[in-house]
């Protein structure tokens, strides 16, 4: 039995629709994964999150290791109990923090020493430790420890990161002991096609449950990102899920689905929501603007989210202006629902064999 079954293929691109089966249920792909870094999606209850249409959510190994600690998560019943989420969960390995916390890290061929961003405590992570921690946290999908590089990045550093990522993936596979979990490898290589080819080819030989394209959305721009994702996807198995990490805008997602990617995660829906910026079919809506003061319209006509069915633009603007926490919550809810509605449209277009035409119209 395979954990990933492709049901629909687009005739005009390499896009596909599939079902990913996990220990906590099925996930229809292409799928967008909201981020609950420290065990919660900021400002949103699990019930509200389900109402947006979210199925698979993400938590982060590094952050849960710091607080509350893996022993505490285990004592509380594992990451599903911690997050009150009875659906699938994915944990990132901490590799992205090598990039995002680069000023607090020391890297060598064996692993990484972090100075905690909370109190400066020294923490050491390598592929085996990161895998064992994720085994104990109990997520349905876990990630190999990898080295995410910045952009731009000199060739020597990029090559070293690729070789470490391959070596660490081998260590992760050897250390992985929880058969209820799927283990995904992460492909690095910046925007260098030869390094991406090499990294993908070596990791595919190791036969992981899925493959992620990492090290993008770090400043390389939309065109480089999609070109690199499309190139990398060509070297990945047809019968395994492909996950583009940390991406992105609606346009990024549609273009990457065309390139054959199945899974996405990004902080944009909630981060923008907390900053009064809403996603709509017509583009961004900045709700602090004076133009919305007396506006009785919802953020988006036709949206079925709790925010749009109950609150006006003018009301939401007022909440932000007086520092009422309901403002960020409402726009985050709308944005999360916007993303899940987008993914549902993508999946429906694939089922109807209309994706190429639909995507071209959307990307305009």
Q: Would you please indicate which residues are annotated as catalytic (active-site) residues?
A: 92, 265
CA 258 to chain centre: 17
What does the alpha-carbon distance between residue 287 and residue 165 come to, in Å, rounded to a whole number? 42
Signed CA dihedral, 21, 24, 27, 32: sign only: negative
Residues 69-74: contacts with CB under 8 Å, at least 24 apart = 70/133, 70/136, 70/137, 73/39, 73/136, 73/137, 74/136, 74/137
The neighbour count for residue 207, using CB atoms within 10 Å, is 10
Burial class (CB in 10 A: 0-12, 13-18, 19+), 1: exposed
Percent helix, strand and coil across the chain, each rounded to 5?
Answer: 45, 20, 40
CA distance 68 to 78: 12
CB 170 within 8 A of CB 209: no
The Cβ of residue 50 has, within 10 Å, a number of other Cβ atoms equal to: 14
The two three-digit tokens of residue 255, written as one number: 């273009």
Task: Give the C-alpha separation, 149 to 214, whole Å.
Answer: 9
Residue carrying the six token digits 């959307």: 362
* Cα 208-58-246 angle, rounded to 5 deg: 80
Contact of 336 with 50, CB cutoff 8 Å: no
What is the rounded CA–CA span in Å between residue 317 and residue 185? 43
């Amino acid at each position: 039995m395979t954990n990933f079954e492709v049901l629909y293929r687009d005739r005009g691109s390499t896009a596909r629709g599939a079902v990913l089966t996990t220990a906590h249920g099925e996930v229809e792909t292409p799928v967008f994964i909201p981020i609950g870094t420290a065990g919660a999606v900021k400002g949103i209850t699990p019930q509200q999150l389900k109402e947006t249409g979210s199925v698979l959510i993400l938590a982060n190994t590094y952050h849960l290791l710091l607080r509350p600690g893996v022993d505490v998560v285990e004592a509380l019943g594992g990451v599903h109990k911690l997050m009150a989420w009875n659906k699938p969960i994915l944990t990132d390995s901490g590799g992205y923090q090598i990039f995002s916390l680069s000023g607090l890290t020391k890297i060598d061929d064996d692993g990484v020493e972090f100075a905690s961003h909370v109190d400066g405590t020294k923490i050491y992570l390598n592929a085996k430790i990161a895998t064992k921690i994720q085994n104990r946290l109990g997520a349905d999908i876990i990630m190999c420890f990898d080295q995410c590089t910045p952009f731009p990045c000199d060739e020597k550093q990029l090559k070293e990161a690729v070789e470490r990522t391959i070596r660490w993936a081998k260590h992760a596979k050897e250390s992985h002991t929880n058969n209820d979990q799927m283990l995904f490898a992460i492909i690095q290589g910046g925007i260098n096609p030869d390094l991406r080819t090499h990294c993908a080819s070596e990791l595919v030989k190791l036969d992981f449950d899925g493959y992620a394209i990492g090290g993008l959305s770090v400043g390389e721009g939309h065109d480089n990102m999609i070109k690199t994702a499309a190139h990398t996807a060509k070297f990945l198995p047809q019968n395994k899920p492909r996950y583009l990490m940390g991406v992105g805008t609606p346009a990024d997602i549609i273009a990457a689905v065309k390139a054959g990617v199945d899974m996405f995660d990004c902080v944009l829906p909630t981060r923008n929501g907390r900053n009064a910026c809403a996603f709509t079919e017509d583009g961004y809506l900045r709700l602090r603007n004076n133009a919305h003061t007396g506006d009785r319209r919802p953020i988006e006509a036709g949206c079925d989210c709790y925010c749009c069915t109950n609150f006006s633009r003018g009301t939401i603007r007022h909440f932000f202006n007086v520092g009422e926490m309901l403002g960020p919550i409402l726009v985050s809810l709308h944005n999360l629902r916007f993303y899940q509605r987008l993914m549902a449209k993508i999946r429906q277009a694939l089922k109807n064999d209309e994706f190429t035409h639909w995507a071209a119209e959307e990307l305009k």
